[in-house]
């Protein structure tokens, strides 16, 4: 018996594994361009958050229709991959449906479940294509999705449709060959969905059917491996990154803004409050806020690579709704694109961060970040706990503290708070004049 198919199978696996390893290494380097940040506290709460939000799809069900369709694809992705395990074993051993003789009727039931999920994926993907390209749901048709993002979203849906058709074609031709008694093919009693398309192949010769069955088998396994490589370049990277992204979620109350340690230490020193390390001057003067991705934390950059580009954050953003330029989704896409650009430059021996560009200014404008109301609607809306607000606040801190380029009204407020300890320009000694006036009126 020829071992050529097994060798070819191993070669395909090795090639896919090589490209996945290279891309994952690149993504890891890109994420760790950011500063270190400890997010290992409250482990029980973190496991709970990951299970509920990433695995349990908890936040998806704020929109029931799309959530149900997404759930069908999500369940199918997990369950149908069990069949891929059989594909792998068959490919390595040179066997055909290696589990069928051992599982009997249970195998047929499992195959029917796989086929039902394949149909569910087909229906869901067609529905999503209609929503994107015919109904043109507003959050899925915004200008930041023009070009590659829109093509990427459509490609992934089309690939899933083709892969599901390959499964059904493989099963239909397989069963016709089994009924004809062709060697190696096993009769499975009652594959419902693939039996519906068997009439399309009934008039074909055995050799043609074997070619179609083997082509569908190879197409599916190569398609799955190619899909795995493609995902690492796609917004669908969230399939894998959603789990670490939710585990490293910010567990503090959403209204609590993170103080800058450098500023906190300076204030404490001015007030005579000793804190750990505050009496020692910093080894290097850091930048206040964030101008580029290396000023952000690695969690911020992981958030960007985890972004599903679903637009729920932008759809809920009050600034965007009222016509402002801000789109939290675009902020995350900007961070991801800038991190990739710098990593590619560094890998090629280029200028890296010294290329004359930066996240703030070349990717994200001041008009965008200044439009943010800090309401946390984007954070609440994100189905995998991405935090665009944290990135926006860090860039605003840079414009305020490094460039003094905040809007004039803001600068006046900052100056009033510094000199008068309130946003309004009046002396602290006059702060309770209103109370004295009320007292005088009562005594009249």
Q: Which residues lie below 8 Å from residue 58, measured CB to CB, with a gap of 6+?
A: 52
| Total of domains in the chain | 3
What pLDDT sits at residue 173? 93
Q: How many C-beta atoms surround the C-beta of residue 437 within 10 A?
A: 10
Continuous H helices in 32-94: 43-49, 64-93
**Residues 97, 119 within the same domain:** yes
* Residue 46: alpha-carbon gap to chain centroid: 18
Same domain, 118 and 214: yes
Average pLDDT, integer, range 178-188: 87
Quote the pTM value.
0.86
Q: Tokens in use for 367?
A: 């008009």
Across the range 38-49, mean pLDDT stands at 92
Q: 391 in a domain, yes or no?
A: yes
d(CA 167, CA 161): 10
Domain co-membership, 77 together with 209: yes
pLDDT of residue 64: 86
Same domain (yes/no): 322, 177: no
Residue 279 has pLDDT above 70, yes or no: no
pLDDT of 77 reads 85
Q: Hey, is 364 helix, strand or coil?
A: strand
Tell whether 46 is covered by a domain.
Answer: yes
**Residue 186 and residue 133 share a domain:** yes
Residue 252 lies in a domain: no
392 domain-assigned: yes
Considering the domain architecture, whether residues 139 and 166 belong to the same structural domain is answered as yes
Residues 90 and 197 both lie in one domain:
yes
Q: What is the pLDDT of residue 405?
A: 84
Q: What is the pLDDT of residues 193-217, one digit of tens each?
A: 999 999 999 989 999 999 999 999 8
Asked whether 118 and 164 are in contact (CB, 8 A), the reply is yes
- 74 part of a folded domain: yes
Same domain, 375 and 396: yes
pLDDT tens-place string over residues 353-401: 999 999 999 999 999 999 999 999 999 999 999 999 999 999 999 998 8
| Residue of higher predicted confidence among 245 and 265 | 245
Boundaries of domain holding 67: 63-247
Q: Is the dihedral of CA 164, 166, 167, 173 positive or negative?
A: positive
* Nearest 10 degrees: Cα torsion 66, 72, 78, 81: -120
Last-in-domain residue among 370, 387, 403: 403
Question: If you average pLDDT over residues 27-43, what whole number do you get?
Answer: 93
């Amino acid at each position: 018996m020829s071992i050529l198919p097994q060798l070819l199978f191993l070669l395909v696996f090795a090639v896919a594994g090589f490209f996945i390893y290279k891309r994952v290494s690149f993504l890891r380097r890109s994420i760790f361009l950011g500063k270190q940040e400890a997010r290992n506290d409250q482990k029980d709460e973190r496991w709970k958050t990951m299970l509920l939000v990433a695995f349990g799809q908890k936040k998806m069900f704020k929109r029931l229709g799309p959530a149900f369709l997404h759930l069908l694809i999500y369940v199918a992705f997990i369950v149908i991959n069990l069949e891929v395990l059989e594909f792998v074993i068959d490919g390595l051993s040179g066997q055909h449906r290696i589990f069928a003789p051992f599982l009997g009727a249970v195998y047929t039931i499992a195959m029917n479940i796989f086929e039902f999920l394949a149909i569910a994926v087909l229906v869901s993907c067609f529905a999503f294509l209609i929503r994107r390209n015919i109904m043109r749901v507003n959050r899925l048709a915004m200008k930041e999705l023009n070009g590659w993002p829109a093509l990427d979203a459509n490609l992934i849906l089309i690939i899933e449709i083709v892969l599901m058709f390959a499964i059904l074609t493989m099963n239909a031709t397989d069963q016709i060959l089994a009924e004809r008694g062709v060697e190696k093919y096993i009769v499975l009693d009652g594959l419902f969905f693939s039996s519906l398309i068997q009439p399309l192949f009934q008039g074909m010769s055995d050799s043609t059917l074997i070619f179609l069955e083997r082509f569908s088998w190879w197409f599916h396994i190569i398609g799955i491996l190619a899909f795995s490589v493609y995902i690492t370049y796609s917004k669908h990277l969230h399939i894998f990154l959603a789990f670490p992204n939710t585990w490293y979620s910010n567990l503090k109350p959403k209204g609590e803004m993170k103080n800058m340690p450098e500023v906190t230490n300076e204030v404490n020193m001015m007030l005579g409050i000793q804190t750990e390390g505050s009496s020692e001057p910093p080894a290097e003067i850091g930048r206040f806020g964030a101008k580029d991705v290396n000023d952000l934390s690695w969690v911020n950059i992981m958030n960007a690579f985890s972004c599903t580009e679903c637009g729920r954050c932008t759809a809920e953003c009050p600034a965007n709704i009222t016509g402002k330029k801000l789109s939290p989704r675009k902020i995350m896409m900007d961070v991801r694109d800038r991190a990739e650009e710098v990593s590619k430059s560094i890998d090629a021996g280029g200028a890296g961060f010294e290329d004359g560009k930066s996240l703030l200014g070349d990717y994200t404008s001041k008009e965008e970040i200044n439009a943010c109301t800090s309401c946390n609607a984007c954070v609440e809306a994100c189905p995998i706990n991405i935090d665009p607000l944290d990135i926006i606040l860090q860039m605003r801190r840079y414009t305020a503290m490094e460039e003094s380029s905040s809007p004039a009204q803001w600068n006046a407020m900052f100056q009033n708070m510094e000199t008068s300890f309130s946003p309004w320009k009046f002396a602290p000694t006059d702060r309770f004049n209103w109370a004295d006036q009320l007292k005088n009126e009562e005594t009249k």
